[in-house]
Amino acid sequence: MNIPKHLSNTAKYITFLLFLFIGNADAQILIDSVIAVVNGQPITQSELTNEFRIDAILGKPLSREPTEAEKQAYLDRIISRRFVLQGAEKIGITAVDHKKQVAARTAAIRSKFPSDVVFRNVLREQELEIEVLEKWMSDEIIYSEYFTRQFVRTVDSKEIDELAPQYFEANKAQFVAPATVTFRSALVVVAPDSSKKEKQAAKRLAEHINSRLLQGETYETVKQSSKTEKSISFNSLTLTTDTSLGAIVAQLEPSERKGPIPVPEGFRIVELVKKTSERQKQFSEVKDQVADLIRHNKAETAFKEWLTRQKADEPWYILEDALKRVSGIKIQPTK
């Protein structure tokens, strides 16, 4: 039986208020409210708020109060996830199976911040507990596992083999090897917290290296004589010409040098080795990539059809009055 999905009945809203009792019955403090229910499982205001806060932690913050449309879109995302988590539970996919993955993802997010202290401070500024972030990541991992198991792996491989050549011919523009430049590089590293004096010293060192190269010394000679300088690194790189550094190097002729070039890491001296023009890839080169794209597209279509059926057949609804009361979602920009 499908229960109406949007309810504004005040009595039903009150039924789904969560209270925290402190001391006696007269000391009730409202701590959360239910804004939607999926198969008997409540979705609360704090879950919606945390969805915005987690996006901020992941580097996608809003600089303002979310609009009603954005709140609705985020709630729709949570509702879809809840249907998936319920489906995953039915076939035995649980959070217990993914503890190591959650720990690895937490570590990966933490590594994007200068220190653990900074990471904890950002969590505190967002009013977000680490356990909430870990639970969210666990749910995302379960979601991905369910999607892969139920939709990606069920796509007919024979059908993909038949469709792949046609897909490639119709979408050749997607399979172009970009123009690249290969070059030698000498980098004088400048730490982000370096003083103005230290930055000037690094620039002078880079100018000195460039001068030696211009006078005829080879990269190898300069590299060997600079082994004790931990701030200098020598390597060969290949970049596409649509990157900022790649575009600069692309202006050079083979064996031509340029530098010092200010880059985020410090100062770089470059010498062009070769240029490679853009070219159309052959089907044989991208056969597996094409197959993956088709498989994913078909899986996405099957998933959307499944989700539509779930929403038509299973009881779920949004408490419109409660959703309208969601306000004050102030997301702090991460530093």
Domain around 125:
6-144+311-324
Is there a single domain that holds both residue 139 and residue 221? no
Same domain, 134 and 17: yes
At 115, which CATH number? 1.10.4030.10
Residues 210 and 259 occupy one common structural domain = yes
Integer CA distances (angstroms), 126 to 52, 130, 132, 259, in order: 10, 11, 12, 42
Residue 15 sits in the same domain as residue 125: yes
Domain assignment present for residue 88? The answer is: yes
Whether residues 18 and 135 fall in one domain: yes
Answer yes or no: do 197 and 103 share one domain. no
Same domain, 127 and 253: no
**Are 258 and 137 members of one domain?**
no
Q: 132 and 19, same structural domain?
A: yes
- The answer to the question of residue 202 being in a domain is yes
Q: Say if residue 118 is in the same domain as residue 10.
A: yes
CA dist 319 and 255 (Å) reads 68
Residue 290 belongs to some domain of the structure? no
- The Cβ of residue 38 has, within 10 Å, a number of other Cβ atoms equal to 22
What values do phi and psi take at 230, rounded to 5?
A: -70, -20
Verdict on whether the full-model pTM lies above 0.85: no
pLDDT tens-digit profile of 62-85? 778 889 999 999 999 999 999 999
CATH classification at residue 248? 3.10.50.40
Helices (H), 91-195: 99-110, 116-125, 130-147, 157-170
Does any domain span residue 306? no
Same domain, 12 and 137: yes
Q: How far apart are CA 136 and CA 50, in angstroms?
A: 9
- Which residues of 39-104 form beta strands (DSSP E)? 41-44
Per-residue pLDDT of the chain (335 residues; tens, 9 = 90+): 444 444 444 434 444 444 434 444 333 334 578 999 999 999 999 999 999 999 989 988 777 888 999 999 999 999 999 999 999 999 999 877 788 999 999 999 999 998 899 999 999 998 999 999 999 999 999 999 999 999 999 999 999 999 999 999 999 999 999 999 999 999 999 988 889 999 999 999 999 999 998 888 888 888 888 888 888 999 999 999 999 999 999 999 999 999 899 999 999 999 999 999 999 999 999 999 999 999 999 999 999 999 999 999 999 999 988 888 887 676 665 55
For residues 218 and 316, state if they share a domain: no
Domain count, the chain: 2
CA 140 to chain centre: 12
Q: Summarize pLDDT for 3-56 with one digit per residue, the tens.
A: 444 444 443 444 444 443 444 433 333 457 899 999 999 999 999 999 999 998
